Structures are given as structure tokens and as C-alpha cells.
């Protein structure tokens, strides 16, 4: 159960409030990103790794989610955010991406929280549909 909750930890990886811009600057963050979550408090496992695809400000899970549903955006200013659900668990987070890396914080309800880091892992062309 904790692993499933923490899979929602990808959400914990990034979250964007609805009031922020939903459309990224044309192509600025498009591509495949490797995201690593480190738990700093709570009941989740110590570390999680995911791959995300970003295309025109929209975020999709590529791998590592084990049944998680991911939705999110990257704003023109690089602010990123996801909401992730996995069964009854859900998570959120906040952060920022730059041209080739990013970081932020995440939380899965009151179960666990931590920080995330991201790095671009491709040539800026997202492959996810």
C-alpha cells in the first residue's frame, strides 16, 4: 500500500496551482525528463524514479508509475506541477524546470513528503502521445 501511495509520489514530484499559466513557452521544456523523488519524512520508501514526457506544457507519465494517473502543466516561467492519483491516494508538489534540470518539493497527503530533482534525458522532443 505504501509503495502504491508513493507511486502517487510522482505527483508528489510536481504540482501546479490552477492559477498559474498552463501553456509553456513554445518548446522550452518539451522532451523526456528523468525525475527522482527522495522521501524526507513519513512512511514512503526512500527513493522513487520516474520518466515524464512534456509536450507544449502538458505532462504525461512515461514510466515508473505502477498504475498512477498523472496530470500536470509546465508554465511559461518554468513552474511545473502535477496531480497524481493511485487508487485512493493522491499527491501534489511544486517546483521549477530550467533548460536541462529542475527541482521542487512533494507531498502525499499526510503520509509522506520530500524533495524532487529532474533532468532532461533527451533531445527536447517528447515522444509520448
Give 66-87 pLDDT, tens digit per residue.
777 888 999 989 999 888 887 7
For residue 48, give the nearest of 75, 84, 16 by alpha carbon: 84
CA–CA separation, 2 vs 71, rounded Å? 21
pTM of the model: 0.73
Q: Is the pLDDT of residue 7 over 60?
A: no
CATH superfamily for domain 2-120: Quinohemoprotein amine dehydrogenase alpha subunit, domain 2 (2.40.128.120)
Geometric angle at alpha carbon 52, from 47 and 118, rounded to 5°: 55
- Domain locations along the chain: 2-120
Amino acid at each position: 500500500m505504501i509503495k502504491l501511495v508513493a507511486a502517487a509520489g510522482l505527483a508528489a514530484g510536481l504540482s501546479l496551482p490552477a492559477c498559474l499559466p498552463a501553456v509553456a513557452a513554445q518548446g522550452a521544456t518539451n522532451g523526456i525528463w528523468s525525475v527522482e523523488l527522495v522521501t524526507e519524512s513519513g512512511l514512503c520508501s526512500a527513493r522513487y524514479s520516474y520518466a515524464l514526457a512534456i509536450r507544449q506544457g502538458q505532462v504525461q507519465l512515461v514510466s515508473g508509475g505502477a498504475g498512477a494517473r498523472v496530470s500536470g502543466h509546465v508554465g511559461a516561467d518554468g513552474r511545473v506541477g502535477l496531480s497524481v492519483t493511485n487508487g485512493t491516494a493522491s499527491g501534489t508538489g511544486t517546483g521549477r524546470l530550467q533548460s536541462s534540470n529542475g527541482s521542487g518539493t512533494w507531498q502525499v497527503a499526510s503520509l509522506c513528503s520530500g524533495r524532487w530533482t529532474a533532468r532532461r534525458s533527451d533531445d527536447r522532443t517528447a515522444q509520448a502521445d
